[in-house]
Amino acid sequence: MTKVKTITTDDILVMLCNSVRKVLTAATKTQVTYSAMVQRITRTCLRPDIGCFVLFDGGFSGLVIMNFSGTSALELYRAYMMSMGMPESELATRHTSEEVGNTLGELMNQIVGDFTGNVGHELQVCINQNQPKMLTINKEVMVSIDTNLDRPQARRVTFNTVNRNVFYMELAMDKTDFIKLHDFEREDADPDRIVAEQAQKTAASNAALLKPAESSPLSSAEQALLDELGL
């Protein structure tokens, strides 16, 4: 008898943690890690200095919150901008600057986008996200999902930047088990590979357009006619 595989709420949490680590590591070109120990919490909050939250719904509903200290927010912001070629002298120096919040919101959007893609790929479930909301705050603000959850679960995970600055991710969602009834084919879509292949096709097409057209060989009758005309 085939063993039934079950995906739990905590397995979904690990998928989200991996999306946070993957996106921030790639964006900042620095190492971002998370703790193997996870806290079970009873409520989710936006906390100082910068809090960001995003709701998702569809196959299941949930809330993701990221809480950054001023130092961790600045470190991630500056590393991300410098990795894209921005000179250090032109970067913000205070976590309250608007561009810091905008940058972290953009990264949050990428994180949840990667997570929802993985959920669809691994669990065959579609979930949708709203636009992340960023707040610079100096006290805790409790945030909850505007829906009735039968068995709400909440977790907090600690993340560390390469300079050992700490930030936190909180996840709230209904207690959910996905049971795999049978194997299914997964379409391994690698966005980087797809973009690279498309770029190669575009380059080849442009090269073909720029290459001088070569005259096609003439038939014997056409060549004979040209010879008679002295051409």
Q: Is 155's pLDDT higher than 70?
A: yes
The rounded mean pLDDT for the chain is 83
C-beta pairs of 178-186 under 8 Å, 24+ apart in sequence: 178/6, 178/7, 178/123, 178/125, 179/4, 179/5, 179/6, 179/7, 180/4, 180/5, 180/6, 180/7, 181/4, 184/124, 186/121, 186/122
Question: What digits encode the pLDDT tens for the residues 179-222?
Answer: 887 775 655 545 555 445 555 665 665 555 555 544 445 556 66
Q: Rounded CA gap, 110 and 7, in Å?
A: 24
CATH superfamily membership of 5-180: CheC-like (3.40.1550.10)
Mean pLDDT is lowest, of 75-79, 96-100, 119-123, 188-192, for 188-192
Question: What pLDDT does residue 213 have?
Answer: 46
